[in-house]
Amino acid sequence: VLSNITDFDAEFFSFTPAEAKFIDPQQRVFLETAWHALENAGYADPKHSSIGVFAGVGHNDYLVRNVVPYVARHQDTSVFQLILANDKDFLATRVSYAFNLTGPSITVQTACSTSLVAIHQACQSLLMGDCDIALAGGVAIKVPHHGGYLHEEGNISSPDGHCRAFDIQANGTVWGSGAGIVILKPLSQALKDRDKIHAVIKGSAVNNDGSAKVGFTAPSVGGQASVIQQALAHAQVSADTIDYIETHGTGTALGDLIEITALKQAYASVDPKTRPAALGSVKTNIGHLNTAAGVAGLLKTVLALQHKEIPKTLHFTEANPKLGLTDSPFYIPSSLTEWPKHEHPRRAAISSFGIGGTNAHVIVEEAPVATPSSYSRPWHIVTLSAKSQQALKATEAQLKEFIDRSEPPNLADLAFTLALGRKAFQHRSTFICQSLEQLQEQLARQDTEKLKPSSLKNSESPRVAFLFPGQGTQYVGMGISLYNTEPLFRDTVDYCAARLQPLLNFDLREFFTQEKSTDPTLLRLIHETWITQPLLFVTEYAMAKLWMHWNIKPFAMLGHSLGEYVAACLSGVFDLDTALTLIAHRGRLVWSLPRGSMLAVAQPASELDLSTFSEISIASINEDGGVVVAGPTQSIKQLANKLNTQHITCTTLQTSHAFHSSMLDPILEEFRQLVQQHKLCAPLIPFVSNVTGTWISAHEAQSAD
């Protein structure tokens, strides 16, 4: 029995309540399970993967008992809408549509073997390259849900409500409800992508009994034995390496007898004394899940592999003597036992046989030992999102509970999966931390009621502009942490420093070494323009490339003075080597000029009176109410004194020269000739010109002037 099968988050899946009430509860539950499966696997946002869906669904009692009587009374729904909401043809495609999955989407129906056949079909699709990832499973839910059955003599249903597979008292099966889904991926790719691997499917097979049996609904020894042998052959493993078999195990006299006979035939080469294999049946735990029975058996087996324990078979007291287990390589475990280790990985098999004769068998083995994450940055961004504030709060509570468990996750892995393996919704919260303890503290005091939802639609991404500062923002020690912890930042700095070394006769990497950050020489050099400008360019460029590597890409840029060269380089106006050459010569030329000063004035440019200071230039207008002027140091001091007497706020900037003033005119021609030697291109990312104050044009960007 499942809890709350009538509950459905219609809004999450973009259904109206009116639409949702007509959809088969089996398909609703399967849709929700599919979402959780994708999230669990880290592929809830399928941007870069082709994901297929292979699944089957049980008989639709809901349509007969609930929908048809309602429509008969109200007649306000079209027949076509009822078909779309209830027909099993649309089980897989509904999932693909809901989550934008573009791989094959196929509903598989073979009665009781449906979900294991779907898993086999998904494996074949992956091997053929039809998709990168496959979602496979099944669902079966009884309606009315809380209802018994009338036992009929000769029927497969148990007279006492218990499934006693292979037991001397076995007299029938019981029916259960459930849904199960696995996410499948080629092992080589899963290892490459460092996915969480729960188990490995070594091989699988599907066949049909044909007509060589007593009736359409009867099982066949030959068909079952054949599919087991085919699966072993496809898996390229020997039968004597299988320690556990999750059987079809319905607990019926005929079914159990034929299944054991087929197993003994398939395992005829195995010596009963050397390697006995345990037999189990999940139906003794949760009943026969019909179309979902096969995936339920697979999930149980994967859990057994993970825990390295063979579970007991419930309601078993004594083997049915007709089965002949005493002289077979099989036994029924009556208690939970440790799964012994061998020279090969632990292996198991799962059988699922459908009424009508379609049989499926799968060979699985335990997952390879995962190599722990190696490099990790010291700080981590943990991101969460949901479609509502209530859901976001619940997600935060789930994360806190997840961290509290006995085997806490690796913080770096947690941050990575939440950032890249989840779909981003409108309501979001973010935590920046260095440890799980810090994250726990932040989660404990987080109050999402104070957060405002993003104004963006789910289909939109926030736009980011990159701003690059100019000279005067430098300090010893800038970028050291990034250089030590971020390989891309370090590689970029190393490349630029190597290219600049012959131009500067100095290695800028001296500034990125922690031990030398307080060196008196560096404290002096960092304010000498011939070093300052290349150092600032390299730091800003490397940081921008790091952000872009994280997929934080600018739609526009603005650079102040030297920063405009970073923007131009990122925009493609010139390549990196050209930019480094220009910046190195620019810094040298400026440093060769007489010293000067700059003054920030909190007054509009139109109101600033410079009539008595002809040698002072307006260097930049940064805002409507503020201006920066530049000129000879003595003149700047006189202007500052005058402004102070007028109670106008002004601040002397930490610069060596009067940048953007007439004092730099002597180097313009030499620099123009240098620029003319290099190819300039039209910008690919818009950026604002320091000269015009608006978007730079292609003509301006390609002009040496």
Catalytic-labelled residue, pool 96, 177, 226, 288: 288
Residues near 188 by beta carbon (within 8 Å), at least 6 away in sequence? none
SS3 state of residue 108: coil
The angle subtended at Cα 417 by Cα 412 and Cα 423, nearest 5°, is: 145
| Secondary structure element (H or E) that encloses residue 436, with its range | helix 436-445
Q: How far apart are CA 687 and CA 624, in angstroms?
A: 20
CA 73 to chain CA mean position, Å = 47
Amino acid at 344: H
Instruction: Write out the DSSP string of 454-520.
Output: PSS-TT----EEEEE--TT---TTTTHHHHHH-HHHHHHHHHHHHHHHHHHTS-GGGGG-GGGTT-H
Give CA–CA dist 20/508, Å, rounded: 64
Angle 464-469-473 (CA atoms, 0-180°, nearest 5)?
Answer: 135
Euclidean distance between CA atoms 443 and 430, whole angstroms: 10
Q: In whole angstroms, what is the distance from residue 383 CA to residue 498 CA?
A: 37
* Closest among 330, 317, 319, 325 to 278, alpha carbons compared: 330
Spatial contact of 57 and 291, defined as CB atoms under 8 Å apart: yes
CA dist 251 → 117, 161, 216, 320, 660 (Å): 21, 11, 19, 11, 90
Respond yes or no: is residue 288 known to be catalytic: yes
Of 177, 561, 635, 656, the catalytic one is 561
Nearest C-alpha neighbor of 184 from the set 167, 203, 197: 197
Give the CA distances from residue 485 to residues 179, 445, 488, 510, 649, in Å, rounded to whole numbers and listed in that order.
44, 29, 9, 17, 41
How many angstroms from the chain centroid is the CA of residue 453?
22
CA separation for the pair 508, 501 (Å, rounded): 8
Q: How far apart are CA 290 and CA 141, in angstroms?
A: 9
Measure CA 460 to chain center. Answer: 18
Catalytic residue among 105, 123, 220, 248: 248
Nearest to 599 by CA among 567, 627, 559: 627
Work out the burial of residue 559: count CB atoms within 10 Å of its CB; fewer than 13 is exposed, 13-18 middle, 19 or more buried.
buried
- Beta-carbon count within 10 A of 277 CB: 23
Sign of CA dihedral 651, 656, 657, 660: negative
Residue with tokens 């839910």: 141
Helix (H) or strand (E) holding 365: strand 358-366
Tokens of 363: 């060979």
State the Cα–Cα distance between residues 272 and 491, nearest whole angstrom.
Answer: 61
For the CA atoms of 290, 292, 297, 300, the dihedral, rounded to the nearest 10 degrees, stands at: -130
Residue 561 appears among annotated catalytic residues? yes
3-state secondary structure (DSSP) of residue 201: strand
Nearest by Cα to 256 from 246, 264, 248: 248
- Of 96, 105, 112, 125, the active-site residue reads 112
Residues with a catalytic annotation lie at: 112, 248, 288, 561
